[in-house]
Amino acid sequence: MCMTIPGRVRAVSAGTASVELEGRMREVSTILHPEIEPGDWVIVTAGTILERLDPAEAAFIRAELERAEAAEAASRP
């Protein structure tokens, strides 16, 4: 299973963007979203920006993932 998380665009140049995902930088394609700009929140899959997110939606997804991780950690013996 592949899970994607919201990432923040830090820089854009000719067909690629530098996206910060959980503290790591990745170079990804902007072919599906050439209008992407630094500061945008995005979903990346297979090295390509799949979707641009509203900042509130990105925050909600990140909070839910953190909640799920905490619940999983609490259930471990």
- Domains along the chain? 6-75 (2.30.30.140)
**Closest alpha carbon to 8 in 68, 46, 45, 55:** 55
| Chain centroid, CA 69 distance in Å | 17
Question: Residue 28: what pLDDT?
Answer: 96
| β-strand pairing of 16-21 with 6-13 | antiparallel
The pLDDT tens digits for 1-47 are 466 789 999 999 999 999 999 899 999 999 999 999 999 999 999 89
Backbone angles phi, psi at 63, to 5 degrees: -65, -40
- For residues 60-70, average pLDDT: 91
Which is higher by pLDDT, 66 or 3? Answer: 66
Question: Residue 57: what pLDDT?
Answer: 95
pTM exceeding 0.75: yes
Strands (E), 4-47: 6-13, 16-21, 24-29, 41-45
